[in-house]
Structure 1
Amino acid sequence: MTTPLEVHRLFYDAVETGDVDLMASLWVEDPATSCVHLGTMPLRGTAQVLRSWTVVMAGVGYIQFFLTDVEVVTLPRGASDPDTAVITCTENVLSAEGLALDAEAFAGGKAVSTSIVVRVGGGWKIWSRHASPIAELMLEEDQ
């Protein structure tokens, strides 16, 4: 992958299409990689991370991500040739997960995610990813 944002977008493409091979191509091969899925403890090591994404993708019928608030910070800051990028975004998720198969309805949700991508052999790969749900609070005047 030629840019941090390219590997970031391909990650979501892999999840949306259930492409296990694409997902595997995006991660650094290292026992220290990590991933925190919504509401779970951290997973360590590329094999464990990829196994978890295979299970997630196999269990989801339809899912689509609309990313907002995407920000990229490269490290070291100000370097002309950075070797690390931190990408944060809001994931606006549309899914049919958990709904009746014959229903033409979708569920939505939001999460905030942070991905750390590193330069590996001239390209970029994911080192770590953490997603956390965003709680939608209802104020009394909203009810």
Structure 2
Amino acid sequence: MRPKSPVAFSGTLSDRLTPYPAEGVASSILLGKDDAREMAAGIFCFIGVGAREGVRTGDRFTIYRPQPGFDRKDLIVNAAHGGTSYGKWQTPIYEARIVEILKRRNLPPRVVGDLVVVDVAETTAAAKIIQSRSEVHVGDLVVRR
């Protein structure tokens, strides 16, 4: 018989379209259990908010990771810079315009998963990752839902 989980959760899990909230309690993952740097569903971790910010046992947080910035190398299709259908139209002016547009883009953070708080201290909380879409890293953002 499987032991009952200390985290009772029956809500809707996040998906890749879960919006990043404009306001709310936010922090980051400080540390994984046993000093883990990469985590997944079922692993315990510690977050940098606690009772002082109003966090309680059972609170649910969504885990986000900021999108990487633009790198000019992202435009390279292969090592020879060949194989692009737009290569004959690509001029230095065109490339400069595209690079400038891509540098200004503002992508929302990527949804990585969900966690539920299992224990709360004054300034930190212990949480269990209940769902992960990819590996969860120390430093990923967490926002209360």
Tell me the TM-score normalised to structure 2 length.
Answer: 0.22
Higher strand share: 1
Higher helix share: 1
Tell me the TM-score normalised to structure 1 length.
Answer: 0.22
Q: Which has the larger radius of gyration?
A: 2
